[in-house]
A and B are shown apart, each in its own frame.
Chain A
Amino acid sequence: MADIVLDGVSRVFGHGDKRFVALDKVSYTVADNEFVAVVGPSGCGKTTCMRMAAGLEFPTSGTCKVGGKIVDRPGPDRAVVFQQFALFPWKTVQQNIDFGLRSLNVPRSEAGDRIAASIKLMGLEGYEAAYPHQLSGGMQQRVAIARAYVLNPQVLLMDEPFGALDAQTRTVMQEELLRVGRINPRTVMFITHAVEEAVYLADRVIVMTRRPGRIKETIDVKPVRLAEKWDNYERIEDVMDLESFVHLRTRIWRLLREQHDPADH
């Protein structure tokens, strides 16, 4: 059982006049093996939520629990995929994927098998000895995902993982993530500002507002996906053409537009 529970989480920066509330009493749960996408404008605190689950940041008040335990540090049970990949440039693909396995003291023979399996899963065969700078952005992100998946983590935290990719690569990666998720379902918190991506990938979409960061609404995608049999479609563009998809997408778009503050521009 590995759920993520944010309970009345606030995050405040600075004091007095410079006091800035990044998150204001945010509560939500990502259930075991559920894929939740969090969308919202820049500065709504969606990344902060993920970083709290990762143990890289901590709430000013409220609690963040993963698997029933208050998060007090980062750890390989909660694998993180960063927007800028954060692969170690001085390590090969193989060594990057191996990094977390060595923290877990996995026996070497088993580690070899697991690395090989995750390399196969992400379609990275033949690139084991390559350094990250020799790979394209899409390939680098595959390595970053393989590095997370190889740990067999209960929880996957992804911070706009496809934000730095070009449109075509992003589409391929989204399909891949869905494919891999079906083989190997995990509790996923997926941060993005791309509405289509959120609807396509997630069981549930949480829409956030900014200043202060709060939850605006939660949209259930899974019932629609199952009822309308989205999984029968191989390609993302076919799903995006479906009326049910368009309907959800537009609804989320409206929610985001409503909070658009003209004073910002």
Chain B
Amino acid sequence: MGPALPTRQLVLLSAVGLAIFFGIWTGAAWLELAPRRFLPMPWDVIDRAFKLTETRFSGQTLQGHLVISVERYLRGFILAVLVGVPLGLLMGWYRWLDYIVTPVFDALRFVAPIAWVPFAALWFGTGIGGPTMIIFAGAFPPCLINAYRGARYVETRYIEAAQTLGASGLRVVREVLLPASLPSIIAGLRISAGAGWQSLIGAELIAANAGVGLMMVRGQAALDTSIVMVGMIAVGLIGLLIDVALRGAETWIKAKQGH
């Protein structure tokens, strides 16, 4: 990459990018490249977004759907982190665990999260359990893989130092592998957060009783594309927020460890 630019220029360039995006959108809508009801103007979408915060659509207001989706998401994502990260670290230390888990994991991780939707709906329902399982299916593999790789590539001297200082296996995992792998784990969380969020919306498009995905499908069924676009924008903005938060955590940890 080229040299870094001052913040003011960066902000300006980002604004230019957004302006071009909305310009093309407005132009395409104005030229009616697609019928107006299928490609609404940006301000129609914004107007619709405000209306959706006041009146219910498919049982909830916009924020109601969002809260339901985010809640499901956090449930599934946190579960994936709590299971995936410790399991990955332990697999990085205990060879036997690695051999037990890896064949199953490698076979299952290539199944797209969406493919679990029928089973998730049948086993755990379309309320909380089913969507949680889909998010888990999307978010779990990057958590596990990055924790595992992080643990395997920890510098030997730290592990040897801990062993000569009398640390047990579990203490090596907790006090050496975990902190030494944090940059890798956080990178995994960023991938995992995105994958989980995408899986959720995908799942809600297929089977859910509420949530942003459901709102978008119902909007499509009613041929009201502005509702679909409100959903897309909301999904994108929340995904962005999640990523910004995790990037902040990454910077903070690196600064703390003196990288």
Contacts and interface: CB of A to CB of B under 8 A. Distances in A.
A99 B165 contact: yes
B180 interface: yes
Given A86-B158, A90-B257, A76 B164 contact: yes
A56 B102 CA distance: 28
Interface residues of A, number: 28
Interface residues of B, number: 20
Chain B interface main SS type: helix
B71 interface: no
A195 interface: no
B157 A84 contact: yes
Contacts of A151: 165
Given A76-B166, A103-B171, A89 B160 contact: no
A231 to B, nearest CB: 31
A245 to B, nearest CB: 33
Interface in A70-88: 73-76, 78-80, 82, 84, 86-88
B179 interface: yes
Contacts of B180: 90
B176 interface: yes
A80 B161 contact: yes
A131 interface: yes
Contact of A82 (B157, B168, B257): B157
A33 B118 CA distance: 71
A124 to B, nearest CB: 18
Contacts, number: 66
B246 interface: no
Interface in A39-80: 54-56, 73-76, 78-80
A76 B165 contact: yes
Contacts of B179: 88, 90
Interface string B161-176: 1111111100100011
A82 B161 CA distance: 8
Chain A interface main SS type: loop
A147 B258 contact: no
A134 B256 CA distance: 11
A80 B164 contact: yes
Given A90-B179, A104-B166, A151-B165, A74 B171 contact: no
Contacts of A79: 164-165
A251 interface: no
A257 B166 CA distance: 40
Those 10 A-B pairs whose CB atoms lie nearest each other, nearest first? A103-B166, A133-B258, A76-B166, A100-B165, A90-B179, A86-B161, A74-B163, A86-B157, A80-B164, A74-B164
